[in-house]
């Protein structure tokens, strides 16, 4: 059996995750609540916030997910 002591939890300030690791974790968790298309759109909108500061974009995508589905 292999063992290793990791003094700091992965993702904490002392042992941060890479941008790709954060994005992969986001996609895996967001898929539980949103469809694949929405996850991709939301990820792009969130990453674009650094340049555009367009908060209504990501909020609109999240609002679509909360809207009741028509039968």
Residue-level pLDDT at 68: 55
Residue with more model confidence, 25 or 7: 25
Under 8 Å between Cβ of 52 and 43: no
Residue-level pLDDT at 4: 85
Residue with more model confidence, 70 or 41: 41
- Binning the chain into helix, strand and coil, the percentages to the nearest 5 are 55, 0, 45
Residue with more model confidence, 71 or 22: 22
Q: Where are the beta strands (DSSP E) in the chain?
A: none
Q: Is 6 buried (19+), middle (13-18) or exposed (0-12) by CB count in 10 A?
A: exposed
Q: What is the pLDDT of residues 8-66, one digit of tens each?
A: 888 999 999 999 999 999 999 999 988 888 999 999 999 998 888 778 888 888 888 76
């Amino acid at each position: 059996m292999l063992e290793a002591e990791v003094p700091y939890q992965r993702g904490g300030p002392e042992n941060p995750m890479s941008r790709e690791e954060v994005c992969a974790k986001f996609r895996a968790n967001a898929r539980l609540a949103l469809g694949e298309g929405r996850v991709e759109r939301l990820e792009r909108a969130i990453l674009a916030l650094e340049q555009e500061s367009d908060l209504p974009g990501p909020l609109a995508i999240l609002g679509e997910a909360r809207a009741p589905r028509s039968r």
